Structure 1
């Protein structure tokens, strides 16, 4: 099985499970064993799915300012969790391919496998919600047509991105590409690097 076939299946499972309750505060349960790539992929997409709905909620023009601030904090924390999961997934690939003999002509990719997988996870969410819009019975024919057109593009994009990811992994496995992972070094959550937070400590 191609890696992205597995990933896309798990992403769809996560999204469908979330939408049974469709509640950002629902309990999370990972059906896959720890220390497996399936576990990481499911967790990664669940974070993305919850954050997708955080972003919907915070755009309510009538949201209470206190609730909006609390939600902004949740989005910040979610972004950090998302970044952490990407790095865990890249660590999985680094370990998997650590014994590969790298060709002297090998090149590096513009992004690591996990950051491409991050885009694939978000794409799964776009497809799910665009399909929802295309299936609406209370929308105008123009809206339905526009959403179906966008859905076709998103599905083609998923096909192309999946193919590119699988090719990248094949190239890494063959030694024609090599991985280098840079930690994200986010600054806004660090009380030594964010000048506002640093000022509060002084």
Structure 2
């Protein structure tokens, strides 16, 4: 199943990141550029780095200048994340371009890539919740709460994976069709963001 394949790539990315566990570490992608695994690995790496940026910016005594620097990095990361989602959807659009769409076919509320985006974030939640469950310096109550949360996350993974695989099967069979809208984010555009436009 594609969801299982994707989740394995996400887990690999997360494990590799945590070898050094530094947001500024060099990024290496061992998968060929024309392979969907390349996009999935890159997508999760962006998510993983951003996860840790979000931790850093919440440090209570962070200097304002450092906080602004991290905020700008988070903004850039969000743009990279959106771009990768659109690249992944392009892969699926190309893969299923010759499928004959059935007369009664319906559209899904989200594209395959945006569902995979949620699976990537879920992989991060599961990884970090497992870390909490395995802590030896935490109170029993903390471990119990995190264990319960981990069970819920695992159930979410099962349900989301099933939904992704069903969506792909429906698209392949023509029961559903893809219609992808570009995100058209406005805050980075000098013409669309009034604050940036005023600086020109």
Partner of 1:73: 72
State the partner residue of 1:33.
32
> Which residue is 1:54 aligned to?
53
- How far residue 36 of structure 1 moved from its aligned partner, in angstroms, is 1.1
Shift in Å, 1:5: 1.0
Can you list the C-alpha shifts for 1:90-149, whole angstroms capped at 9, x where unaligned? 000000000000000000000000000000000000000000001111110000000000
TM alignment of 1:130-145, pairs within 5 A: 130-145=129-144
- Aligned residue in 2 for 1:165: 164
Q: Which runs of 5+ in 2 are unaligned?
A: none
Name the TM-score, length of structure 1 as normaliser. 0.99
Whole-angstrom distance in 1 between the partners of 2:157 and 2:26: 29
Q: Distance in 2 between matches of 1:155 and 1:14?
A: 19
Displacement of 1:52: 0.1
**Match for residue 124 of structure 2?**
125
The alpha carbon displacement at 1:31 in A equals: 1.0
Equivalent residue of 1:133, what SS?
helix
**Corresponding residue for residue 180 of structure 2:** 181
Output the CA distance in 2 between the equivalents of 1:137 and 1:38: 35
Structure 1 residue 168, shift from structure 2 partner: 0.1
Distance in structure 1 (CA, Å) of the matches to 2:197 and 2:132: 45
After superposition, give the CA deviation of every residue in 1:6-33 in whole Å (9 maximum; x if it has no partner): 1010000000000000000000000100
CA distance in 2, matches of 1:19, 1:31: 17
1:59: Cα distance to partner? 0.3
Give TM-score, length-normalised by structure 2: 1.00
Segments of structure 1 that go 5 or more residues without pairing to the other structure are none
Tell me, in whole angstroms, the C-alpha distance in 1 between the residues paired with 2:27 and 2:183: 26
CA distance in 2, matches of 1:96, 1:36: 12
Give the drift of 1:78.
0.0
Would you say 1:99 and 2:98 are equivalent positions? yes
Q: CA deviation at 1:169?
A: 0.1
Distance 1:30 1:172 in 2: 29
Deviation at 1:35, TM superposition (A): 1.4
**How far apart, in 2, do the equivalents of 1:197 and 1:35 lie?**
36
> How many pairs align?
200
